[in-house]
Amino acid sequence: MTLQIPFFDGRAVFREIEDRVLQAVQRVLRSGQFILGAEVLAFEQAFATLTGARFAIAVASGTDALSLSLRAAGLAAGDRVLTVPNTAPATAAAIQAVGCRPIFADVHPDTLLICPEHVEQQMQAEVRAIIPVHLYGQPAPLNHIIALAKNAGAVVIEDCSHAAGAFDHGLHAGRRGDIGCFSFYPTKPLGGMGDGGICITDSDHLAARLRMLRMYGFNEHRICMEPGFNSRLDELQAAILHERLHVLEQQQQHRQRLAERYTKGLQKTGLRIPLLRSGITHAWHQFVVRVPQRKQLMKALQQMGIGTAVHYEHSLHLMPAFAASNGGQRFPQAERAAAEVLSLPCSRHVSEADADQIVEAVITCLS
Ligand SMILES: Cc1ncc(COP(=O)(O)O)c(C=O)c1O
């Protein structure tokens, strides 16, 4: 069988809301206001409504959202920040961008989410912030982690880059920690047509600091109060993201149906699928299976016209940029996951019939 199912199709994302995007772009261009105007404000308000947060502060990327959050929370150069090794390198790069030191905690073998027991062990290292990652769109378990952070006087900054539209017992991802950070990289559940990010918080203090830091450290009189960044979401991106926000839930439901088909269809293959926590709504940013013969399966699926991807192929603690702060510690669960995880196509351009064909193709390849 030869199919034509790419892993991701940016054109399909655009096609779905083409008229509305073109109108939004025209509206912005005709307004003559391109930076921090009515569109950003309206999008921030809409995002705050979606998540239930008191404040939403839009920034230039998900990486910046994390870096600015660490600075807003008072972290300084040399402070240790604990995160997971099986995340996008951006999580650790954001920590280093503000001079902090990324250290790691291993993940649970069934969910691939941060393991609270391992966080507890790692807290001995004077951790000033914890960044749990809601990997693939599944909210990570935070109860114990928040208690540990409180005890240690550390902040919790949730990396929600995969988790727009994800809920844990009715609470949107990003609402449990001090700040929740989202990426609008095009492939994300709420993807822009360019770069973007946003921070959510219920704290007046943190919201004010984030607004100040995203624009040179300006106070209301445009006096720089401390070293700041230039990290603003632009008006065009905000207008486009606002259009995408209208279809977020509908697209999440579509991915949910794909995930159900994959889960049911792949049950007998022996492939391992990350376990779902109870009480959560998964954003299904990625549908990930674990397969020891990953390379062969990827190649065989490619030959059948099915695109796949790996999130993530290398554990961060083994990368030269992050190895130094980690003192040679190993994280067996994350390392094993890195060798086995495989993401199947799971976005808007994939139909339910496509998902069935992908299941069939996987079964054929494995038999
Ligand atoms: C888990 C995670 N954190 C942070 C980021 C950084 O986001 P951005 O690419 O918008 O800077 C990404 C995006 O790749 C991500 O997947």
What does the pLDDT look like over 237-288, one tens digit per residue? 999 999 999 999 999 999 999 999 999 999 989 899 889 999 999 999 999 9
| Predicted TM-score (pTM) of this structure | 0.98
Answer yes or no: is pLDDT of 224 > 80: yes
Contacts of 333 (CB under 8 A, 6+ apart): 106, 107, 108, 109, 112, 115
CA of 98 from ligand 1 middle (Å) equals 16
* Ligand 1 atom having least distance to the Cα of 185: 10
CA of 182 from ligand 1 middle (Å) equals 8
> Are 347 and 6 in contact, with CB atoms under 8 Å apart?
no
pLDDT-derived band at 231 (thresholds 50, 70, 90) equals very high
Q: Do domains 10-105+114-246 and 248-366 have the same CATH topology?
A: no
pLDDT, tens digit, for every residue of 174-189? 999 999 999 999 999 9
Ligand 1 mutation pick, 183, 195, 229, 231, max ligand atoms within 8 A of CB: 183
The pLDDT of 84-93, averaged and rounded, is 98
* Ligand 1 atom having least distance to the Cα of 63: 11
> Are 164 and 188 in contact, with CB atoms under 8 Å apart?
yes
The two most distant CA atoms of the chain are separated, in Å, by 68
Query: Which one of 3.30.930.10, 1.10.10.60, 3.90.1150.10, 2.50.20.20 gives the CATH number of domain 248-366?
Result: 3.90.1150.10
Alpha helices in the chain (DSSP H): 10-16, 18-31, 38-51, 62-72, 89-97, 116-122, 143-152, 204-213, 235-246, 248-265, 294-303, 320-323, 332-340, 352-366
Ligand 1 in reach of 90 Cβ (< 6 A): yes
Answer yes or no: is pLDDT of 124 > 90: no
Distance of alpha carbon 332 from alpha carbon 327, whole angstroms: 15
pLDDT, tens digit, for every residue of 325-335? 888 999 999 99
* Ligand 1 atom having least distance to the Cα of 66: 4
> What are the C-alpha distances in Å from 94 to residues 15, 42, 70, 322?
33, 27, 9, 12
Ligand 1 mutation pick, 68, 113, 133, 161, max ligand atoms within 8 A of CB: 161
Average pLDDT, the chain: 97
Specify the pLDDT at position 268. 85
Specify the pLDDT at position 2. 82
Specify the pLDDT at position 274. 84
Ligand 1 in reach of 63 Cβ (< 6 A): yes
Ligand 1 in reach of 159 Cβ (< 6 A): yes
* Ligand 1 atom having least distance to the Cα of 311: 16
Ligand 1 mutation pick, 87, 107, 138, 185, max ligand atoms within 8 A of CB: 185
Distance of alpha carbon 158 from alpha carbon 182, whole angstroms: 9
Q: Where are the domains of the chain?
A: 10-105+114-246, 248-366
Dihedral sign for Cα 299, 301, 302, 308, please.
negative
pLDDT-derived band at 118 (thresholds 50, 70, 90) equals very high
- CATH number assigned to the domain covering 10-105+114-246: 3.40.640.10
CA of 239 from ligand 1 middle (Å) equals 21
> Are 345 and 306 in contact, with CB atoms under 8 Å apart?
yes
Specify the pLDDT at position 270. 86
The pLDDT of 28-44, averaged and rounded, is 97
Ligand 1 in reach of 88 Cβ (< 6 A): yes
